[in-house]
Amino acid sequence: MKVKLRNPDRQVDLPGGRPIREVLDELGIDGDTVLVIRDGELVTRHEQVGDDDELEVRPVISGGSR
């Protein structure tokens, strides 16, 4: 399974066949701070991912005083 990470943009390969929550845990990412997008659709962390899926993990935190 391909996982695209942002800021900076990079890609990692991880095994699928488990809930997204576990993938995020492995990456050390807090699920409340990212959108997870699978094949162009938003998914919750409870969703299962397969080996052939492509995920984008997109951070939602923005910094600075705006």
Partner 1 sequence: MRCKRCRGPAVVEVRRHNAAFCKECFPGVFTEQVRKAIRRFEMFGRDDRVLVAVSGGKDSLALWDVLLDLGYDATGLYLGLGIGEYSDRSHDATEAFARERGAELRVVDLADEYGYDIPTAGREGSRSTCAVCGLSKRYAFNAAALDGDFDVIATGHNLDDEAATLLGNTLRWNTDFIARQSPLLPGRDGFVKKVKPLHRLSELETAAFAFLRGIDYVVEECPLVAGNTQLRYKEAMNAIEATSPGTKAQFFLGYLDRGMPLFAQDDVVLRPCESCGHPTTGRFCAFCRARAQVLDRRLEGPGIEEVPDEDRDVARSLSDEVMPVEIYGRTT
What DSSP character marks residue 64? S
Q: What is the total count of residues that contact partner 1 (CB under 8 A)? A: 22
| Residue 37 interaction partner, one of ligand SF4, partner 1, none, beta carbon < 5-8 Å per kind | partner 1
Which residues from 2-61 bind partner 1, rule CB under 8 A? 6-7, 30, 32-33, 35, 37, 41-46, 58-61
What CA–CA distance (Å, rounded) separates 51 from 40? 17
| Amino acid occupying residue 61 | I
* Dist CA 41 CA 21 (whole Å): 16
What is the Cα Rg of the chain in Å? 12
Residue 7 or 65 with smaller CB distance to ligand SF4: 65
**Contacting ligand SF4 (CB under 6 A), which of 8, 28, 40, 63?**
63
